[in-house]
A and B are shown apart, each in its own frame.
Chain A
Amino acid sequence: MTSTNGAPLVEMRDIRVTFGGVHAVEGVSVDLRPGEVVALVGGNGAGKSTLIKTLSGARPPDSGEILIEGKPVTIHNPIDAKTLGIETIYQTLALADNIDAPGNVFLGRELRTRIGTLNDSAMEDACRKVMGRLNPRFTNFKKAVGWLSGGQRQSVAIARAVHFNARVLIMDEPTAALGPAETAQVGALIRQLKDEGLGIFLISHDIHDVFDLADRISVMLTGRLVGTVKKNDVTKDEVLAMIIMGKLPEEVTQAELADLHG
């Protein structure tokens, strides 16, 4: 957070995405530094998930630039993103329910033996190691993940993202499906990864989570960036005003803020 010398870890410049004439994302620029959590917030349809898909490779942008450590890159598909050290935890978790935890962690990046067969033992071993760090109580390494609880499934999705030494982590509503205890665990994990120097984009509906975890907050409304603020400089009400009215803290009046609680 403190080292701001040099280029940011991720810089997205003037990103545009259009779906059949609808401008889902219109000229949005955000950036992320190592060891920083940037929250992307906004109502439904604000375009935050679409913006982040251009970084994770799920949907290439129609125009705009993405720079990693100052170097322009092109991300056409999820493999490009992963090669650049960008890992994503999707809201849906994107797990194959019929495959076990190691198989999901290594999905698309399977370890193989010298004769080209799947090295299930090595994958299970690696999966046990990363789980030991994330969720030591996780023991169901042989069961298809469809049989596991929501929290355990979340652990598998997170394990997949952190196992491959990611530099950038994208978390799309990581706590939406979780209970309070599991939410706290995910929060602790985010702080731990941040301390390890990862940059994290956190997409969330939950303003409390955001204030708890983020260093900066980028607010989107109908495909545009309202603005990016430092968490310590603003109140929750001011962020709410950005989300709902699209007004920056310096533009909003006390009367409007009072109306939020109407």
Chain B
Amino acid sequence: MFILTSETPMTDVATAPQETSPPPKRTFGSLLGSLEIDTRLLGMLGALAVIWVGFHILSGGTFLSARNLWNLSVQTSAVAIMATGMVLIIVTRNIDLSVGSMVGVVGMFMALLQAEFLPDIIGFDHPLTWLITLLAGLLLGALIGGFHGFIIAYVGIPSFIVTLGGLLVWRGVAWALASGRTIAPMDSIFQLLGGGSRGRIGGPASWAVGLAACVGIVFFLLAGRRQRRKFGFHLRPVWAEVALAIIGCAAVLVAVAVINSYPMPEALAKQYAAEHGIEIPPGGIALGIANPVLIAIGVALVMTILATRRRYGRYVFAIGGNPEAATLGGIKTKRTIMMTFVLMGLLVGVGAAVTTARLNAATSGLGTLTELYVIAAAVIGGTSLSGGVGTISGAALGALVMQSLQSGMVLMGVDAPLQDIVVGIVLVIAVAVDTIYRKRVAR
């Protein structure tokens, strides 16, 4: 997988110790070096910018409207949530093809629970219906994932086979659960998980989330610097720390401003204004960040911590890099792999909840082909199918790239078959670019 730098003898490795500051040349490369930004992530952001601006021009100025970006954020959520789990699956040199069918069975299960079973037990529109449904759905997802993981890790059947079987089995079960009926509508509180005009947090709360994110960015930069100083490691120049803080906070605040510039539909705004006894301001009342987007951001944060700051994540990557080394290091590789599938199942539970809530219904076809979008998002986001390499943020960005392509083509009125052709080509190009990039870095 890696191309080793050729035969450098131990005695003449890099002559400059790391502590010396880089030469004062201000090339773009040394600038990035001082900021210590991942150039691959930057490349993806660049690709996303090209796609966005391109569609904006091609669609005659509708793509980068607040309305479209707000919808884009909602549409991306479910795939992004599940892609964060798929990264870890692929990093351990496994694959999960059953994700779409699991969305179907878990979604159907949650729909039946809230629309048919729970009303008989605790009454219709009970305030706890949504919570019981959600927890039961997460549990079912984790159980199915754990079952797959057990067979893969402990029985030793390749994950491709186990989850290919799962793809067929769970789709069938999803159909059998309701004999192919469509189950609707969802519980009124449960629906909020899916976004929509009610399922969002409003303008002021969105600004609060944005400010909290800025505080978080500054806190982590400061904590990192303090830690580096404590051990006497190389410190970023102060200007680089300040620049990172400003860029990070600005990006967050601009995103919130864009989201908040999308107003409520007029009818809803009038109702809201009447309820709260206020006048509708000239720009309308902001919807704010949609709930599923908030969930996706939360999931991505938690998964990033798991993947990079916890032993579990370190073990996942070690297994992907060299399974034998992981075993000899005393890592319980089977348990780690099974836990990764449990985690994937939990995330499928979240994704299924968001999807059914958004559709306000469950059908036996729910989630069909989702596994391919989830895998594609992870791969476009830089996850290597040979294992050991991948990031959560990359996968989330990958989901956004895919959804941007689709949503842009819909805006332009491109036919569905042509959309698939474009997405397929982009997938292959993305991996090709990444492969070439890796080879160049290796030299």
Contacts and interface: CB of A to CB of B under 8 A. Distances in A.
Contact of A94 (B1, B7, B325): B325
B324 A92 contact: yes
Interface in A52-96: 56, 58, 77-79, 82, 88, 90, 92, 94-96
B388 interface: yes
B318 A118 contact: no
A229 interface: no
A82 B442 CA distance: 34
A14 interface: no
B328 A88 contact: yes
A150 B13 CA distance: 11
A97 B2 CA distance: 8
A112 interface: yes
B2 A94 contact: no
B322 interface: yes
A98 B326 contact: no
Interface residues of A, number: 49
B65 to A, nearest CB: 41
A4 interface: no
A97 B388 contact: yes
A211 B33 CA distance: 49
B14 A139 contact: yes
Nearest to A58: B328
B104 interface: no
Interface string A118-147: 100110110000000001011111001011
Nearest to A122: B231
B317 A99 contact: yes
B18 interface: yes
Interface stretch (B55-63, B169-177, B307-315, B353-361): B307-315
A94 B14 contact: no
B327 interface: yes
A256 B333 CA distance: 51
Contacts of A92: 324-325
A150 B2 CA distance: 13
B17 A146 contact: no
Contact of A90 (B317, B328, B388): B328
A185 B9 CA distance: 11
A77 to B, nearest CB: 7
Contacts of B325: 92, 94-96, 104, 107
A47 to B, nearest CB: 19
A108 B330 contact: yes
A254 interface: no
A208 B232 CA distance: 43
B189 interface: no
Contacts of A124: 231, 233
A77 B308 CA distance: 26
Q: Which of B7, B308, B314, B326 has the most CB of A within 10 A?
A: B314
A96 B321 contact: yes
A44 interface: no
Interface in B46-75: none
Nearest to B389: A98
Chain B CB within 10 Å — which of A108, A122, A135 has the most?
A: A108
A94 B322 contact: yes
Contacts of B326: 96, 107-108
Contacts of B309: 117-118
B320 to A, nearest CB: 7
B421 interface: no
A146 B17 CA distance: 20
A56 B231 CA distance: 33
Given A90-B328, A140-B14, A150 B7 contact: yes
A181 interface: yes
B350 to A, nearest CB: 23
Contact of A149 (B8, B231, B322, B442): B8
A148 interface: yes
Contacts of A58: 328
Contacts of A117: 305, 309-310
B396 to A, nearest CB: 20
A98 B231 contact: no
Contacts of A77: 330
B378 to A, nearest CB: 16
B331 A108 contact: yes
Contacts of A122: 231
Contacts of B8: 149, 151-152
**Which has the most chain B C-beta neighbours within 10 Å: A58, A77, A79, A149?**
A149
A237 interface: no
Contacts of B324: 92, 94
A173 interface: no
A147 B13 contact: no
B314 A110 contact: yes
A179 interface: yes
A58 B17 CA distance: 37
Interface in B222-242: 227-228, 230-231, 233
B4 A149 contact: yes
Contacts of A148: 4-5
A175 interface: no
Interface of A: 56, 58, 77-79, 82, 88, 90, 92, 94-99, 103-104, 107-110, 112, 116-118, 121-122, 124-125, 135, 137-141, 144, 146-152, 154-155, 179, 181-182, 185
29 contacts: A77-B330, A79-B330, A94-B328, A94-B329, A96-B322, A96-B325, A97-B321, A98-B389, A99-B314, A99-B318, A103-B314, A107-B325, A107-B329, A107-B331, A108-B329, A109-B330, A117-B310, A118-B308, A135-B10, A137-B13, A139-B17, A140-B13, A146-B1, A147-B4, A149-B4, A149-B8, A151-B9, A179-B7, A181-B11
Given A146-B1, A149-B10, A150-B4, 18 more contacts: A78-B327, A82-B330, A92-B325, A94-B324, A94-B328, A96-B322, A98-B389, A117-B305, A117-B309, A121-B231, A137-B10, A140-B14, A148-B5, A151-B8, A152-B13, A179-B9, A181-B10, A182-B10
